[in-house]
Each structure stands twice: as structure tokens, then as C-alpha cells.
Amino acid sequence: MNGPRVALESTVIAHGLPAPHNLETARACETEVRAAGALPATIGILAGRPVIGLSEAEVAELASRQDVAKVNLANLAHVIAAEKWGATTVAGTLHLAQAAGIRVFATGGIGGVHRGAGDSFDISADLQALARYPVVTVCAGAKAILDLPKTLEVLETLGVPVVGYQTSELPAFYSRTSGLPLDLRADSAAEIARLAATHWQLGFTTGVLVVNPVPQADEVPAAEIKDAIEEALLTAAAQGVSGKAVTPFLLARIAARTEGRALRANISLLRNNARLAGEIACALAA
């Protein structure tokens, strides 16, 4: 089938969600994209071969192997050249998606500026990739474990429009609100498509970031998750967790500390983003 396509990432499957939720959610996201009238393409690397549109069996293999690298911009070439297995992050997925001509991508929460980045310099390659590729990325905001004001500042510096979908505030992944106002808001997929088309007609080659709040029924309000986030950050620091391990460590710790509420929110927002991305892909094609 030709027609509007939506890229989906695989890090969330291999490193972000526990089994069996990872596989169920991967499948559910594809179903949401199809329900919106678009074709899903889950992206990953199988023994050095980048695949745009993994089969269900291939997704299952990525989910179950223990030797799957977390692939961003810095190690994409290595994983391919060394014929390794790789799950692509937002950054890695964006690179492969745009090379395949895909203009819309759905994820959970983007990486960003970590708290304490002034010392650690830990800033996700996702921000660099959002600035580099002309793709609409749909997310539920930056992960609440990050420094959200600094993440917004960097996106502004990089020239990436951040558009609230039916909100005027940056959502904070598990929660619908962060208290941080946004300049841009769109209330329909068609409006987002028009903005993205205009952005690219102006000659920009940067992406557009759509921030879509987690559905109300599944949100964990910021005040209720704050302690779990802070405890997870302290534990990560005490155990010396660093680099690529930080994000998966924090997400797992927070899920464990909230009796699954964080996990439920994570799954719900992933599906919700896949649906909106499908609608945007259709609107862009129209």
C-alpha cells in the first residue's frame, strides 16, 4: 500500500517498557496508525540491516534479545557496520525515517536536557535530530525526569516549532500540565499539517514537534508523581548510573514506585500519539 506513513521507534519496545506490555503496545500503536488511515512503519536494525516497517515477528525478536543496542546518531553507523542488533531512539528513528521519505513520527516522550546538565552535559541527541530532519514528531512532551524549561529553551534555539495539540501548555509526559506556556497551539490535525507544510515551504529543514497531552483518564498528576521522580533521580545518582542507561533506569524505577500508574500512562500516551500522528500524516497527504 502507498499513502501516508507514520514511523514508530523501537527503543521504547526494547528498553522502555517491560514485557509483555512492550509487544502489546507496539502492536496497539500500529493499530492506532491504521485506524487513522495511515500505514505504520516500526523502525529497527536487525543484524546490521535497518528495517523500515518491522514485521510482528521481527518486533518480537527485538523485544526479547538481550544484545540490542540503543541507537542514536552517534552509534547508528557502528551498529550497521558491525552487523549488530539495534533499537532506534527518537534520534535514530528520525534519521532512518527521513531517509525513507517518511514525514511523520510518533513516540512517547522525547529525550531532552537532563537535570544537572550543567555538570553532566547530558543532553539527548533527540534534540539535535529534531533540528536536523524535516519530520513532524508527535510526543507527550519531554519526559518529566528532564529539565523541562531548559529543554524548551534548546528547542527554541534550534528553531524547532513546539506546537501544543489542544493545549497551550507543555505536557509533562505522565501529566497533562507542566506550568510552562507554549507560544504555538493547534486544535486539529489539519492545522498541524498546514503549519508543517508552511514551515518547509519557507525553506526550513528542521522538524516540527507536536506535544499531545496524555489522555485524562490515564494521567498521573504532576504532584502525585513528583516524589517518585525525585527518588529515582537520587537512586540513579547514588548508583552511578550514567549515559544511555539513565533514561531506561529512571522510567523503570518510576513505574515500580507508582504501582503501575506510570506504566499505564506511558502506554496510553504512546497509543494516543500514534493515532494523532496517523491523522497528521493523512492531512499532510491531502
The residue (of 12 and 189) whose beta carbon lies closer to ligand PSU is 12
Per-residue x/- track, 44-83, Mn ion (CB under 5 A)? ----------------------------------------
The residue (of 144 and 182) whose beta carbon lies closer to ligand PSU is 144
The residue (of 30 and 122) whose beta carbon lies closer to Mn ion is 122
In terms of Cα–Cα distance, which of 212, 249, 216 is closest to 232? 249
Q: Which does residue 90 touch among Mn ion, ligand PSU, none (CB within 5 to 8 A, set by kind)? A: ligand PSU
Catalytic residue among 143, 219, 244, 279: 143
- Assess whether 9 carries a catalytic annotation: yes
Q: Does 122 bind Mn ion (CB under 5 A)?
A: yes
In terms of Cα–Cα distance, which of 52, 47, 81, 79 is closest to 65? 47
The residue (of 65 and 188) whose beta carbon lies closer to ligand PSU is 65
Residues that bind ligand PSU (CB under 6 A): 9, 11-12, 15-16, 89-90, 107-109, 111, 124-126, 244, 247, 251, 266
Q: How far is the CB of 90 from ligand PSU (least distance, A)?
A: 3
CB atoms within 10 A of CB 240: 7
Q: Show which residues are catalytic.
A: 9, 143
